[in-house]
Amino acid sequence: MNKKGLPAAIALALTFAVAAGCFGGSPGEPVDGGEASDAADDRAMSDAAGGGAPEGSVVNTTPEDTLFFYTVDLFLTKRYVQQEDFEKYIGQFIRKKFPDIKIKHVLWDDGTRYEDLIAKGTIPDIIFEDTRRNAHRYVRRFGLEYDMSDLIKKYNFDTGALDPSYLQLSLNSSDGKLYSLPFEGYDYVLYYNKDIFDKFGVDYPKAGMTYDEAYELAKHMTRQEGDITYKGYQQHPEYYMMLNQLAEPALDPNEDQANLLSENWVKIVDNLRRFYDIPGNQFTTVRDFPKGRMAMAVDVESWIYNYSTEYPDLNFDVAPVPVFPEAPNAKYQPYVGGLYISKQSNKKDLAFQVISYLLSEEVQIERAKLGIRSPLMSSAVQEAYGQFVPGLRDKDRDALFALQNAAPLPRRPGLTFIDPKVGEVFNPHIFEESKDSSAALRLVNEKMNKAIDETKAIQSEGGVSPHL
């Protein structure tokens, strides 16, 4: 396996995983990347009633010439909701390379949940799922996890071609093994309204703008003009913190405890809360940007297309997110959808060959043309990005690749995972209760430690923790 270009920590973890598999054995994001979604609650409620791992006798029962591909709605996108969408973004490439293989595709969001598949004894060969949280909440909970390290070695798959930040996320959610390989990502960018900037005679945001500079700009752009109030800047606190650019972990990387009491966390919180102390710029929602009264907003890049098509009169462009001076080249940590091979698959070699092909530069270039963020560190893939997407062609596509994703810190295998509710630092503790930053962090830290202890106790009894 080629580890060229990987940080030492990732390379070391992969060496252990591939050589011996020695380490025992991820937010369902809202659809808008910034607001709560009933779909997320529905999904959690549905699965709360489900049981644990499937019986050991349950295996994939699809025929030898059929590959069962199961895709999950990641909430940041509805990309695979329709069968024709799956064919466009995935199926056509498999059929081209493996013409003798039939594809069975089932979407989680069509009413077929994990427990439904298990009850029927129909386990997928390949699962497309959120890497950060749902590897724990679903794949591992239902006993579907399978370490691909031996297959990576057997087929000489080059993990060095993958973005290290994406790969580290897979390692962290796999206890140092590789239950998934990153398949596609979702980045955040700074949207800005060119008409508002032109109206006030202000230069557009540029790559490398620091948060201090963005703050001064936000103060200048937040103003009242007659009956119209202009907000200067909006950035959703939860995702800003969860995927923070300083890569400060919410869960301690070495111990079973929360990690919100560091000086870096105070810096991260204070950095954003000052924007919402600007009179007239209180936090509402980043999704108000297309209404034309917001100068800047940080949001997921997938909305470039939506805004371009749904609001044709909106004169906007994008720039990289503001940066911290101590991390001048870092944007958000990645939000990633990964490809898993189920433990119960009866055609693991074929499944891995399919995954390997889907991650080839050839396929990733074609998917990039359709506006899908690739995990490959390939200039050819980056240059192809958005070529077939009208809403992207006239935007500053260079801004999408001007910075590098901050890499999550490695986490010691065997530690307890919970979904860290870092958004509660701002809401309710800052926005509703006016707590100072240290007090807000301390309260959430205490709540997270309690959730970790409860999760350990529940899992020791074979139960399902509500904190995943």
DSSP 8-state class, residue 430 = I
pLDDT level of residue 265 (50, 70, 90 thresholds): very high
Instruction: Please report the pLDDT score of residue 394 as a whole number.
Output: 85
Report residue 317: phi and psi, to 5°. Answer: -145, 180
Contact 74, 342 (CB under 8 A): no
Least confident of 115-119, 216-220, 235-239: 115-119
DSSP 8-state class, residue 91 = I
Sheet arrangement for strand 66-71: 102-107, 66-71, 126-130, 335-341, 180-186
> What average pLDDT is seen over the chain?
87
Residue 28's closest CA among 36, 19, 18, 17?
36
Name the strand (E) or helix (H) holding 264: helix 263-276
Structure tokens at 9: 């920590």
Q: Is the pLDDT of residue 51 over 90?
A: no
Q: What is the pLDDT of residues 403-459, one digit of tens each?
A: 999 999 999 999 999 999 999 999 999 999 999 999 999 999 999 999 999 999 999
pLDDT level of residue 248 (50, 70, 90 thresholds): very high
DSSP 8-state class, residue 251 = B
Distance CA 288, CA 233 (A): 11
Q: What is the pLDDT of residues 363-402, one digit of tens each?
A: 999 999 999 999 999 999 999 999 998 888 889 988 999 9
pLDDT level of residue 121 (50, 70, 90 thresholds): confident
pLDDT level of residue 27 (50, 70, 90 thresholds): very low
Instruction: Please report the pLDDT score of residue 336 as a whole number.
Output: 94
Q: Which amino acid is at 276?
A: Y
* Exposure class string for 197-227: b at 16+ Cβ within 10 A, else e: beeeeeeebebebebeebbebbbebbbeeee
Instruction: Please report the pLDDT score of residue 323 as a whole number.
Output: 98
Q: Which residues contact 309 (CB under 8 A, 6 or more apart)?
A: 390, 391
pLDDT level of residue 36 (50, 70, 90 thresholds): very low
Average pLDDT over residues 168-178: 95
Structure tokens at 326: 């101590």
